[in-house]
């Protein structure tokens, strides 16, 4: 890791002129990001954010009328996006802006504490890493928004001199916003609040009253935002449901494991205890290694490297908390990771002739390898306790073919070289199922009707502009990991019979009996295997 160097070695690493480095970053950013703007709707959390967001934008109450196990930030964002447009494009434009803002924060941080070359390599590495489809960088996940907010907070408080009250309050507000998107960003909040103390140590002095004041001010800024959010949820009738999410659903979700299979198994008994101990040991190991590294860097008066190391320590601890193995988890630590990787790589390429290119390549490879360790490590542990095939998971996140195929088909479609139908086939049967489901709902319902999809087909409610007849807009982990979910959902469908019920998986006997009792008509199965039940009032 490096610090600003005004000597000959530092001058050798400078890119001249500076605008060329920014231009190269912009070119790579556009090349990697444009394909995401033309993607069709597929099965991912993004579609659930859109469905719940659409319902919220049209009067539904979060955690009562519509349900998801995330904290409210992403659903509020989904509502805001749906006020403008209910589309994949709208969500991916927001993702593109978030990635650009995060990249800018990385550039500014490295320019403040390192060289232009390090800033270029770190930013370029992030642009590449955050765009990889193998790490789900082409989909708007909560980690992308939270990482952007934390990067902004770090930029506000990471200063060699005392930070202003306004900056501290702003940093607190930003990390609170990140926590509203995902509770694991509380770990990043710890890093942000203690950055002034790290700066003091790395500057050769003990933290004193100014550092304590900064910590308390950051905490006050965070508390103010969280307090306003809590008040809004309470007044809106959502707080009881959020309490259940935080105290019950999140606990079950974090204790679940897939071993790389992505199935989300919820173990019990001694297996659950073993997984809990594994989780605690992983987090403890990351915190210990990161603290020691930060302390060693601080002793050598590397201020910027110390801050970056401390930031990465807490971000990485959050990433390894879950053993579910979802690649987008790594997005939480990508900004800090790319900064640390660039600072480390700058020392490793000093003797290379093409130092600038070598620095960028080394930064990207180091950051990518660290992501693989953070994702594969927990899933490999879980695969021992909860037997699952790990090989398929590993191959899916390391395969270069996935990346090249995605970029080739995306640019081919953008340039008109690939027809829309052929392009969508590359995403499997999911886009067609979404389109078919929306079409049948549009054909048999009117505005204001309630509908329901028994299965997992995100995007259907927002794209069809219909309210869900039950709280679960998708029968995903929020539904499957809660034993209370099925009877509650069936009672809601009994109270609000949907005009159309689309079936993608076997119905419970109680629900089948209800449909027959209410004289629903079963339509012939669609091409994707969907079975449609239509209310007598809509046949």
Looking at residue 424, its pLDDT comes to 94
Contact 156, 121 (CB under 8 A): no
The stretch 330-338 carries a mean pLDDT of 98
Q: Residue 166's CB: how many other CB atoms inside 10 A?
A: 11
435, pLDDT greater than 70 = yes
pLDDT digits (tens, 9 = 90+) for 368-383: 999 999 999 888 887 7
pLDDT at 477: 83
Q: Name the residue among 4, 34, 83 with its Cα closest to residue 408.
A: 34
pLDDT of residue 270: 60
- What is the structure's pLDDT at 481? 79
pLDDT band at 169 (very low <50, low <70, confident <90, very high): very high
Between 246 and 28, the higher pLDDT residue = 28
Establish whether the linkage from the previous residue to 17 is cis, with ω within 30° of 0: yes
Q: How many whole angstroms separate alpha carbon 413 and alpha carbon 423?
A: 7
- The mean pLDDT of 434-456, rounded to a whole number, is 95
Model confidence at 106, pLDDT cuts 50, 70, 90, reads: very high
Return all residues near 133 (Cβ < 8 A) that are at least 6 apart. Answer: 402, 403, 406
Say what the pLDDT of residue 367 is: 98
For residues 6 and 266, which has the higher predicted lDDT (pLDDT)?
266
Q: Is the pLDDT of residue 530 over 60?
A: yes
390 against 133, higher pLDDT: 133
Mean pLDDT of the chain: 90
Least confident of 271-285, 306-320, 383-397, 473-487: 383-397
| The predicted structure's pLDDT at residue 9 | 47
Query: What's the rounded Cα separation, in Å, for the pair 107 and 283?
Result: 29
Q: Average pLDDT, stretch 117-125? A: 96
Categorize the per-residue pLDDT at 6 as very low, low, confident or very high, splitting at 50, 70 and 90. very low
The span from the CA of 465 to the CA of 471, in Å, is 16
**Alpha-carbon torsion (315, 321, 327, 328), positive or negative:** negative
Positive or negative: CA dihedral 531, 532, 536, 539? negative
The first and second tokens of residue 126, run together, are 């992030």
Quick check: 147 and 153 in contact, CB under 8 A? no
Predicted confidence (pLDDT) per residue in 30-45, tens digit: 999 999 999 999 998 9
Query: At which residue do the structure tokens 């959502």 appear?
Result: 238
Q: What is the pLDDT of residue 434?
A: 96
What pLDDT does 407 receive? 96
**What is the sign, positive or negative, of the torsion defined by CA atoms of 442, 446, 452, 458?**
positive
In the predicted model, what is the mean pLDDT of residues 168-188?
Answer: 97
- Of 387 and 164, which is predicted with more confidence? 164
In angstroms, the CA 56 to CA 237 distance is 13
What's the token pair of residue 441? 């709902």
pLDDT in tens, 270-293: 667 777 788 889 999 999 999 999
DSSP 3-45: ----SHHHHHT--SSHHHHHHHHHHHHHHHHGGGGGPPP-SSH
pLDDT exceeds cutoff 50 at 15: no
pLDDT of residue 261: 45
SS3 99: helix
Q: Report, as an integer, the average pLDDT of 426-444.
A: 94
Please give the Cα distance from 124 to 28 (Å, whole number).
8
Coil, strand or helix at 500: strand
The per-residue pLDDT for 222 is 98
């Amino acid at each position: 890791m490096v610090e600003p160097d005004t000597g000959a070695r530092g001058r050798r690493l400078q890119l001249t002129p500076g605008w060329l480095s920014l231009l190269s970053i912009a070119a790579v950013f556009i090349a990697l990001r444009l394909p995401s703007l033309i993607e069709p709707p597929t099965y991912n959390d993004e579609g659930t954010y859109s469905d719940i967001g659409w319902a919220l934008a049209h009067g539904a109450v979060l955690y009562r009328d519509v349900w998801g196990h995330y904290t409210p930030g992403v659903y509020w964002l989904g509502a805001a996006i749906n006020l403008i447009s209910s589309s994949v494009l709208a969500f991916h434009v927001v993702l593109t802006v978030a990635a650009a803002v995060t990249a800018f924060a990385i550039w500014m941080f490295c320019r403040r504490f390192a060289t232009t070359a390090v800033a270029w390599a770190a930013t370029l590495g992030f642009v590449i890493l955050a765009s990889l489809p193998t790490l789900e960088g082409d989909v708007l996940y909560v980690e992308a928004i939270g990482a952007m907010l934390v990067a902004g907070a770090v930029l506000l408080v990471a200063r060699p001199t005392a930070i202003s009250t306004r900056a501290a309050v702003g940093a607190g507000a930003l990390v609170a916003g990140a926590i509203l998107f995902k509770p694991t960003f509380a770990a990043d909040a710890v890093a942000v609040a203690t950055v002034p103390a790290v700066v003091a140590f790395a500057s050769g002095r003990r933290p004193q009253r100014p550092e304590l004041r900064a910590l308390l001010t950051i905490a006050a800024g965070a508390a103010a935002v969280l307090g306003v959010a809590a008040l809004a949820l309470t007044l809106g009738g959502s707080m009881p449901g959020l309490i259940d999410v935080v105290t019950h659903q999140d606990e079950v979700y974090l204790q679940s494991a897939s071993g790389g299979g992505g199935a989300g198994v919820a173990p019990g008994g001694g297996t659950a205890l073993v997984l809990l101990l594994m989780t605690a040991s992983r987090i403890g190991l990351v915190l210990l290694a990161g603290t020691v590294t930060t302390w060693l860097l601080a002793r050598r008066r590397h201020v910027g490297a110390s801050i970056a190391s401390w930031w990465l320590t807490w971000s990485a601890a959050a990433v390894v908390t879950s053993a579910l193995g979802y690649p987008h988890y790594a997005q939480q630590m990508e900004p800090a990771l790319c900064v640390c990787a660039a600072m480390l790589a700058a020392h490793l390429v000093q003797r290379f002739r093409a130092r600038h290119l070598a620095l960028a390549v080394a930064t990207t490879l180091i950051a990518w390898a660290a992501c693989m360790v953070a994702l594969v490590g927990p899933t490999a542990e879980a695969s021992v306790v909860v037997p699952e095939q790990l090989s398929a998971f590993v191959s899916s996140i390391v395969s270069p073919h996935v990346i090249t195929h995605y970029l080739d088909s995306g640019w081919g479609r953008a340039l008109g070289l690939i027809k829309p139908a052929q392009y969508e086939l590359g995403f499997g049967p999911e886009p067609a199922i979404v389109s078919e489901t929306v079409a049948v709902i549009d054909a048999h319902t009117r505005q204001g009707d309630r509908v329901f999809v028994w299965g997992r087909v995100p995007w259907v409610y927002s794209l069809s502009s219909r309210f869900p007849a039950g709280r679960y807009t998708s029968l995903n982990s929020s539904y499957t990991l809660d034993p209370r979910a099925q009877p509650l959902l069936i009672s809601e469908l009994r109270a609000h019979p949907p005009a159309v019920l689309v079936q993608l998986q076997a119905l419970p006997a109680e629900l089948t009996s209800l449909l027959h009792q209410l004289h629903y008509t079963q339509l012939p199965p669609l091409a994707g295997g969907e079975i449609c039940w239509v209310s007598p009032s809509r046949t």
